[in-house]
Amino acid sequence: MSSNVIAICNQKGGVGKTTTAINLAAALAGIGKKILILDLDPQGNASTGLGIEYSERRNSIYEVLSNTISFDEGVKKTNLENLFIIPSNVELSGIEPELANENDKAFVLKSLMNNSDSINKYDYVFIDCPPALSLLTVMAMTAASSVLVPLQCEFFALEGLSQLIKTVDRVHKNLNPSLSIDGIILTMFDKRNKLSTQVAMDVKKHLQEKVFDTMIPRNVRVSEAPSFGMPAIIYDRRSKGSQAYLQLADEILRRTNSKEAA
């Protein structure tokens, strides 16, 4: 199985999980890495942001998790070379009660991935999680090798982080001993805003090397891109937001390479 399965988690909505998933994925696909995104949010924003038509979402992650189709049958091409996705649709919101009585429900995604014939061909799998510490997120953490946490540079950023860390610890202890947080990405940073700078400094002071050097600035081109069905780095590669995501992708490559070498 692919060693780089990265769950992008934060129980808050609107912090940049999906934006980070599609731009990192596109950046790494652009340098020849083979990438799979699992859209694990019933809102399907990653699917929309990559221009996946609604007609293509009928065979979605919901059908995969409920065993109607195989994992590999769920995989769709995107408009970008090397970038694949298992899309999501609103039906996914019904999966948690359906699996409620299943034994080992936390392992459902992991075992489907383990049984996939094609999973090994991906260099990175990114799981775009819903804004909740729900079964779907626990499933993603159970299947993942690491958790990436986008943190918005605002006053309440750190509130909720301790709960997220507790969930990761619990999954680490009970379900997935190889899981760790690697790392935290500061998003929507606004250097003209004192509070934004203060929050960034606080987070770096408390979480130190867990925090990526690259911060993602608030940038209007980043927010425009999804309505064109494109990652920002394709929509406007030269924008400050895109440049930051390209730099973040480099940082992730360096970190995963040194982890593999260790």
Q: Which residues bind ligand ADP (CB under 6 A)?
A: 13-19, 45, 131, 187-188, 216, 218-219, 222-223, 226, 241
Identify which of 97, 179, 105 has the alpha carbon closest to the alpha carbon of residue 144. Answer: 179
Structure tokens at 93: 């919101």
- The nearest distance, CB 185 to ligand ADP, in angstroms, is 10
The nearer residue to ligand ADP, 119 or 129, going by C-beta atoms, is 129
- E-strand spans in the chain? 5-8, 35-39, 76-77, 83-86, 124-128, 146-152, 180-187
- Beta carbon of residue 43, minimum distance to ligand ADP (angstroms, whole number): 8
Of 15 and 230, the one with the shorter C-beta distance to ligand ADP is 15
Nearest to 122 by CA among 88, 86, 89: 86
- CB of 204 vs ligand ADP, minimal distance in Å: 18
Binding partner at 218 among Mg ion, ligand ADP, none, C-beta below 5 to 8 Å by kind = ligand ADP
18 near Mg ion, judged by CB under 5 A: yes
Amino acid identity of 156? F
CA–CA distance, 100 with 104 (Å, rounded to integer) = 10
Site map for Mg ion, 39-58, x if CB under 5 A?
A: ------x-------------
Is residue 196 part of the contact set for Mg ion (CB under 5 A)?
no
Question: What is the signed CA dihedral for 237, 238, 242, 245, rounded to 10 degrees?
Answer: 100
Contacting residues toward Mg ion, per CB under 5 A: 17-18, 45
